[in-house]
Amino acid sequence: MDSGGGFTDLLQFIFMGLQRGSIYALVAMGFNIIYNATGIINFAQGEFVVLGGLMMVTLTMGFTFSIPFAFLITVLFVMAVGILMERFTINPVKNPTVLRLIIITIAVSIILEGSAMILWGKESHYMRHFSSDETFEILGATILPQTLWIIGILILIVIGFMLFFNFTMTGKCMRACAINRDAARLMGINDRKMVMLSFALSAGIGAVAGIIITPIIQMDFGRGTMLAIKGFGTAVVGGLGNSLGGLVAGILLGVIEALGAGYISSHYMDAIALLILLIVLFIRPSGIFGSSEASKLKEF
Amino acid sequence: MSKNHLELINLRKVFGGVVAVDDLNLSVRRGTITSIIGPNGAGKTTIFNLITGYLKPSGGIIKYDGRAVNGKKPYRVAALGIARTFQNVQIFSDMTVLENVMVGRHLRSHSGLLRSSLLPPFFRKEEKKISCDAEKWLSFVGMAEEAGRSAGSLPLGSQRMLETARALAMEPNLLLFDEPASGLNARETVAMGELISKIKEMGITVVLVEHDMELVMDISDTVSVINFGKHIARGTPAEVQVNPDVITAYLGE
Amino acid sequence: MGRQDYIGLCVFFAVVLTIPFLITNDYYISVLVFAAFNCLACIGLSLLLGYAGQISIGHAAFVGVGAYASGYLTVEMGWSPWMAMGAGVVLVVLIALLIGVPALRLKGHYLAMATFGFGTILYIVAVAAVDFTGGPAGLSDIPAISLFGLVLDTDKRFFYFSWAIVGIGLYFGLNLIHSRVGRGLRAIHGSEDAAESVGVDTPFYKIQIFVLSAVYSSIAGSLYAYYVNYIDPGPFSMMHSVLLLTMVAVGGMHKVWGAVIGAILLSLLPEFLSFLTESFQAVGLEYNEDYNTLIHGSILLLIMLFLPEGLIDGLGRLAGGVGGMINIKRHQDSAGT
């Protein structure tokens, strides 16, 4: 292989990695938002992505709605699912143990997975791309326009959330709750409402991830688990609760995975990605970007 | 055997930038009751957590029986004969009262996984011995009647007694009490004081962190006063009570 | 000291002995054999989850390792089934140590995710390592196991065999709970700090129980392979790990008996639902295996929301409340009288 071909391959893998990584980053953001508000890791996070993707498929391919309209409806729908989940399974549980909360979110996750299987069947669903599905070339690497959509929407969401958390009252309240719930409550912040909001936002982000990736991966009901586990790994690597860290870690994981699949073995790609995540979890549970002092304060 | 059962030499603990224990020197004579007192946040519980291995010192030495024991895991510290109670009572609330004390016999019994699983408890001698010994310690703190109760259902006063029985069941040489009277009513506090004195008479060295001054002054042989992680005074209860530094620390300038 | 538990064990053996006389239909016997495999894995899981308080959502992977070790060694290497089962246990011990030593330093969500990730990795390997596992097609022609020269190739024989092993597993488990080690484990669950303060070596205890519970799963997997004579990756997926967790939670996490009851109930549930289908055919409702995921999830959620201590405790309290006379104390088994 000549050096130009090698470079082209590399560039190709990096674009693939960015595309995957954006999704992991979004799932990690979803984990972080709920974690910051509640201390809960929501094992159903991956199912939000699946629901987003499948709902979008139905709306665009079944009902032939326009993409922006279907996008909006889908996000609202999944946010509603998130709110229902919080209202009916998290909110009613008083003085829960960590073990019980873990099992509850696992239960919700398999209920959503089972429902998706019944409603949408076991097959993968094709969805049309946001714009053209004709590839074009950048420095010899072939790129789908959808990849640019994914990266663009990720950037928009990150900017949107930065503005939300730093410049709106609600966003600031959520950050306050994340830092110290008791103190926030004493200052008159309704932390129950914040918990609900965190589920809504987190579900919404999951939905967006599902919507933008479906044209490329063809969504099916069973993808939630793997998305959740990789998204969680991403969140841990980035330092649980640290959204910016999660973003960087997501992109990093995506690129490593794409390079691994390209140069080593695509069969074991997921296994290798999980192995890396496990190793980080074992060696540095506070994450690459988190401080180990701070993580000791968390109840793990 | 050195005269000092426990010795802290230049002990230091820093959390982030906050100095919780500041080059502390303190010694505890064998067979005595030493109380550590000081205003809230003076670093008393931190000292206990350093001694028992729940925290790692940032500097200094902890000597027990003349040997440095810094940085050992809590269960290794326990194996040296150091027992403790907790400021916010830590009992096993899903177990019975007797079982709680039986856990205290852990280091005094030996069956491992395999031996434990081969025979039912009523065929095993060691199991009977553990239960017998545990009953003895339960009677010692006056709780024999409660043996079958679920520990979580006990009132706080009894829970503190139970925690003490569990610590005693280890047959320790040194027992650290972290605010044993907190949350107790006057009658219970007196009972706790009597129990601690009884423990001293058995030859166990006691270190006490406590806010109830009456209790401290009643039972202590030596009182050490700590403020901002530093040792500011030491003496008999009578001496400490009139020490001007102590009065300043408690009442302010 | 837990006499009730041992009376329960006697009742258990009596029931196992009589069932083949009451149920003569081979199909139902075979359903109960599958229940035995789940039961065995769940007893192990309950020791870990309910007594030591450590979660694992990767236990189906250990079942899988046992099954594949038995399958591969008997079919490809010609080992005897007993030898292969033993080798499976050894392999599972090694794997459990490898994953458990670092993982058990983690707590709560981290431990859950670590075991989840580990289970997923093994599943991917089972699908991808075609040379060893046969990939998605699996391994077939796994021989039956024999005991004292008797080949266990009928449903009834295997019924007795598998439930006898469950009984032995129960016996070991019960002994363990009512022992120094068992108290140490329950102490860790109650308060890790307090357990360490009396000298319980918590890391060592956690890893011991993790390995032991993995061994239970491995044996369940080997038995499965010898009964079905064919294995593919399907039954060892994450969904099965969650199913095992559900079984333990349904019966009651804090009692080994809960695991037994939960495993039996959920193993029989699909049969019960198919049976119901006949009654509901008129209204057009039909049970279909595809609903299992949804049904299991709903059961798990309802139990966690309303009966977090499981059915045994819930029914006990109900009986206590209604009967008044029937005084069912919680943790009666540990009354230490």
> Any CB–CB contact under 8 A between A93 and chain C?
yes
**Res C259: pLDDT:** 92
Q: Percent of chain A having pLDDT more than 90?
A: 32
Contact between residue C132 and residue C68 where contact means Cβ atoms under 8 Å apart: yes
Name the neighbours of C, counting chains with at least 3 Cβ pairs within 8 A.
A, B
Contact between residue C246 and residue C64 where contact means Cβ atoms under 8 Å apart: no
Residue with the two structure tokens 């129980």: C209
Highest-confidence segment of A57-66, A197-206, A236-245:
A197-206
> Between C190, C197, C202, which is nearest B95 by CB?
C190
Rounded Cα distance between A97 and C190, Å, is: 12
DSSP H or E run through A138? strand A136-138
Q: B90: which chain C residues are within 8 Å (Cβ-Cβ)?
A: 191, 193-194, 197
Q: Do C199 and B107 touch (CB under 8 A)?
A: yes
Comparing alpha-carbon positions, the chain A residue that sits nearest to C291 is A114
Q: A41: which chain C residues are within 8 Å (Cβ-Cβ)?
A: 109, 112-113
Name the CATH architecture for the domain at B4-251.
3-Layer(aba) Sandwich (3.40)
Q: How far is CA A269 from the centre of its chain?
A: 19
Q: C58: which chain A residues are within 8 Å (Cβ-Cβ)?
A: none
Q: C300: which chain A residues are within 8 Å (Cβ-Cβ)?
A: 103, 106-107, 110
Closest by CA to B134, choosing from B165, B157, B159, is B165
CA distances from B79 to A193, B52, B98 (A): 49, 11, 21
CA distances from C215 to A295, B109, C99, C306 (A): 33, 26, 14, 32
> Any CB–CB contact under 8 A between A221 and chain C?
no
**Res B252: pLDDT:** 63
Where does the pLDDT of residue A284 fall: very low under 50, low under 70, confident under 90, or very high at 90 and above? confident
Domain boundaries, chain C: 3-237
Contact between residue A97 and residue A56 where contact means Cβ atoms under 8 Å apart: no
Contact between residue B82 and residue B172 where contact means Cβ atoms under 8 Å apart: yes
> Between B54, B112, B122, which is nearest C1 by CB?
B122
Q: A106: which chain C residues are within 8 Å (Cβ-Cβ)?
A: 57, 242, 245, 300
**Res A171: pLDDT:** 85
Domain boundaries, chain B: 4-251
DSSP 3-state assignment of A234? helix
Contact between residue A54 and residue A125 where contact means Cβ atoms under 8 Å apart: yes
Q: Do C187 and B95 touch (CB under 8 A)?
A: yes
Q: Is the pLDDT of residue A1 over 50?
A: no
Residue with the two structure tokens 């991808």: C128
**Res B52: pLDDT:** 93
Cα distance from A4 to chain C (closest Cα, Å)? 33
Beta partners for residue B7, in sequence order: B27, B63
Rounded Cα distance between A28 and A246, Å, is: 6
Q: Do A282 and C249 touch (CB under 8 A)?
A: no
Rounded Cα distance between A47 and A34, Å, is: 15
Residue pairs spanning B and C at CB distance below 8 A: 138
Name the neighbours of B, counting chains with at least 3 Cβ pairs within 8 A.
C
Closest by CA to C176, choosing from C311, C104, C168, C8, is C168
Q: Which residues are CB-contacts of A297 (< 8 A; sequence separation ≥ 6)?
A: none
Q: A283: which chain C residues are within 8 Å (Cβ-Cβ)?
A: 102
> Between B74, B78, B94, which is nearest C186 by CB?
B94
DSSP 3-state assignment of B88? coil
CA within 13 Å, CB half, A229:
26
Residue-wise pLDDT tens digits, C119-158:
999 998 888 888 888 888 888 888 888 788 777 778 888 8
Q: Of residues A254 and A289, which shows the higher confidence score?
A: A254
Residue-wise pLDDT tens digits, B123-144:
888 889 999 999 999 999 999 9
Q: How many other CB atoms are found less than 10 A from the CB of residue A12? A: 18
Closest by CA to C153, choosing from C22, C26, C50, is C26
In chain B, the DSSP E strands lie at 4-15, 18-29, 33-37, 59-64, 67-68, 82-84, 174-178, 205-209, 222-227, 230-235
Closest by CA to C152, choosing from C140, C138, C163, is C163
Residue-wise pLDDT tens digits, C201-218:
999 999 999 999 999 999
Q: How many other CB atoms are found less than 10 A from the CB of residue C228? A: 18
Alpha helices, H only, chain A = 3-38, 45-57, 67-85, 98-120, 145-167, 169-179, 181-186, 191-217, 224-237, 243-263, 269-283, 292-297
Q: A118: which chain C residues are within 8 Å (Cβ-Cβ)?
A: 290-291, 294
Residue-wise pLDDT tens digits, B81-100:
999 999 999 999 989 999 99
